[in-house]
Amino acid sequence: MTILNSGRINRRGFMATTAGAALIAGLPLRAKAAPSRGGHLRAAIGHGQTTDVLDPGTYSNSFTTSLAFAIHGRLTEVAADGSLIPEVAESWEASADASVWRFKLRSGVTFHSGKAVTAADVVSSINFHRGENSTSAAGPLVANVTDITTEGDDIVVFTLDGGNADFPYFLSDYHLVICKAEGDSIDWKSGDGCGSYVLKDFSAGVSYAVERNPNHWRSDVAWFDSAEVLAIVDQNARTTALVSGDVDVVDRLDLKTVGLLARNPNIQINSVAGTQHFTFAMDTRAEPYNNPDVRLALKYGINRQELVDKILFGYGSVGNDHPIGQGQRYFNTELAQKTYDPDKAKFHLKQAGLDSLDVKLSAADAAFGGAVDAAVLYQSSAAGAGINLTPVREANDGYWSDVWMKKPFCAVYWSGRPVEDQMFATAYKCGAAWNDSFWCNDRFDELMLKARSELDEAKRREMYFEMQQICSDDGGVIVPMFANYVFGNSNKIAHSDTLGANWDVDGMRFIERWWMA
């Protein structure tokens, strides 16, 4: 067996998307006192809907993600600096071909109800997302697990259908929480987790409240006595709540006014570059999006730099119609960057047998801040390419249940994933629950399986390069821009200078990582 540094894996180049890319804007940082326990945190998250439930397979937005990180534990954790560290698992080791993984559980970890976390709970929790009948968004992440066995109460062994050097990273996913085994399934309805906070109240799409877990195994997290998180989708309302002092933390700030907000001496603005990207997803099963030339015409009909300048106000970079960020290990540095080119767009329309194209693009601020404005800008640039694009403003509430993956062309935001295979498996593999363009490409899927088991770095890089090229040229998702995470906190709150970039607001672990100043 190959020991992987007692569970720690560091990614070359991944620092470029995390601590190395973190920028704290506004006033100079104050010297921080050491963390201390106490106080009540109030936060407003620009997401959440009335259809949210505690089922971990359905977590789909920042409201439920932040809750999952607060009340639940996973086998592994992506630390603020981008490295992978043990969480409920104490350590792990792999076979020489990375097809068998053996995880040793940490002793003394209990659920909030007092029951000890055992290997049987881990097996049931992962199996919850497996199988042909699973509808979990994490299904693709564990699809290559062929068997899970236990050795006593503290060893879990995963057997895969092939090597996967990134498998421990997969197990850090926010869906793959450890819940109590219950019959042939798990108890998710009670919210009884093993995380650093205990769930006290949950109102779908409105708010949740948690209190510190007095029996948590870690002493370096959970500084607040309690926390309350509100779902406030309206951007102006969130910002007003921060300025007035009604909340201490808000995400997804209005980039048009963030410079003015930074002048407030009571507020700190944080901008962190990572893997977050904003997209326009086409249903490739439906006309006209089932035609690759139509998809290319739409890709050449968008002015990416204009969106970065006018929607992100420079807090980001242009995208190239694939989901891999510039700081990631296998980012394709050789792929030609698509730019606004009306002539190429018209050429591909003619290749599709069309002189013009009429499409509707659904958008709402629930998708991402400025999504409706982005659609209007897209309308203007597309017109020069013979494309009549009509923006459709959708309601914020219910956007993710009624519009995303329901309407044939819509705005979407993605936080990205720490490793390439995880992102591709989640949203680009044929048949994946969150493949929001319903795209299938046999060569892409073939490469995905080969790449995850390839231990030769050069060969693996070559395969991931080709996969990005296939996404960019054939895929059903337009990725015009990568966006920094821009969020704010009052000066009553303190946090480390190193902020996680794998998700928004310090990897969505702000409740357990931050403290009262």
To which H or E segment does residue 387 belong? strand 387-393
Instruction: Give 153: exposed, middle or buried? Use CB within 10 Å, 0-12, 13-18, 19+.
Output: middle
Which is it for strands 485-490 and 267-272: parallel, antiparallel or unpaired?
antiparallel
- Higher per-residue pLDDT: 167 or 21: 167
The stretch 135-143 carries a mean pLDDT of 92
pLDDT of amino acid 274: 87
At residue 458, the 3 state secondary structure works out as: helix
pLDDT of amino acid 22: 36
Distance in angstroms (rounded) separating the CA atoms of residues 35 and 497: 13
**41 close to 511: Cβ distance less than 8 angstroms:** yes
- Judged against a pLDDT cut of 80, whether residue 24 lies above it is answered with no
pLDDT of amino acid 499: 95
**282 close to 475: Cβ distance less than 8 angstroms:** no
Contacts of 20 (CB under 8 A, 6+ apart): 327
- Judged against a pLDDT cut of 60, whether residue 13 lies above it is answered with no
At residue 286, the 3 state secondary structure works out as: coil
Distance in angstroms (rounded) separating the CA atoms of residues 61 and 49: 9
**501 close to 273: Cβ distance less than 8 angstroms:** yes
- Higher per-residue pLDDT: 453 or 401: 401
Q: Which residues pair with 414 in a beta bridge?
A: 277
The mean predicted confidence, pLDDT, of the chain is: 92
- Judged against a pLDDT cut of 90, whether residue 189 lies above it is answered with yes
pLDDT of amino acid 270: 97
pLDDT of amino acid 133: 82
How confident is the model over 73-104, as pLDDT tens digits?
Answer: 999 999 999 899 999 999 999 999 999 999 99
The stretch 328-335 carries a mean pLDDT of 94
The tokens for 230 are: 């509100």
The stretch 435-452 carries a mean pLDDT of 96
pLDDT band (50, 70, 90) for residue 483: very high
pLDDT band (50, 70, 90) for residue 32: low
Residue 322 has phi, psi (to 5 degrees) of -145, 160
Q: Greatest CA span in the chain, whole angstroms? A: 68
pLDDT of amino acid 30: 47
Asked if the bond preceding 288 is cis, omega within 30° of 0, the reply is yes
pLDDT of amino acid 26: 39
Of the chain, the percentage scoring pLDDT greater than 90 comes to: 86
At residue 513, the 3 state secondary structure works out as: helix
How confident is the model over 275-331, as pLDDT tens digits?
Answer: 999 999 999 999 999 999 999 999 999 999 999 999 999 999 999 999 999 988 899
The tokens for 417 are: 């994933």
Q: Going from the N-terminus, what domains does the chain have, and what CATH number goes with each?
A: 34-71+195-266+491-516 (3.40.190.10), 73-186 (3.90.76.10), 274-484 (3.10.105.10)
User: Hunting for tokens 């969106």 — which residue is that?
Assistant: 307
Measured between alpha carbons, how far is residue 26 from residues 199, 214, 487 in Å?
Answer: 34, 36, 12
Buried b (16+ CB within 10 A) or exposed e, 289-327: bebbbbbbbbbbbbbbebbbebbbbebbbbbbbbbbbbb
How confident is the model over 467-478, as pLDDT tens digits?
Answer: 999 999 999 999
pLDDT of amino acid 29: 44
How confident is the model over 260-269, as pLDDT tens digits?
Answer: 999 999 999 9
User: Hunting for tokens 């044939």 — which residue is that?
Assistant: 408
Contacts of 116 (CB under 8 A, 6+ apart): 109, 110, 153
Q: Which residues pair with 317 in a beta bridge?
A: 482
How confident is the model over 359-395, as pLDDT tens digits?
Answer: 999 999 999 989 999 999 999 999 999 999 999 999 9
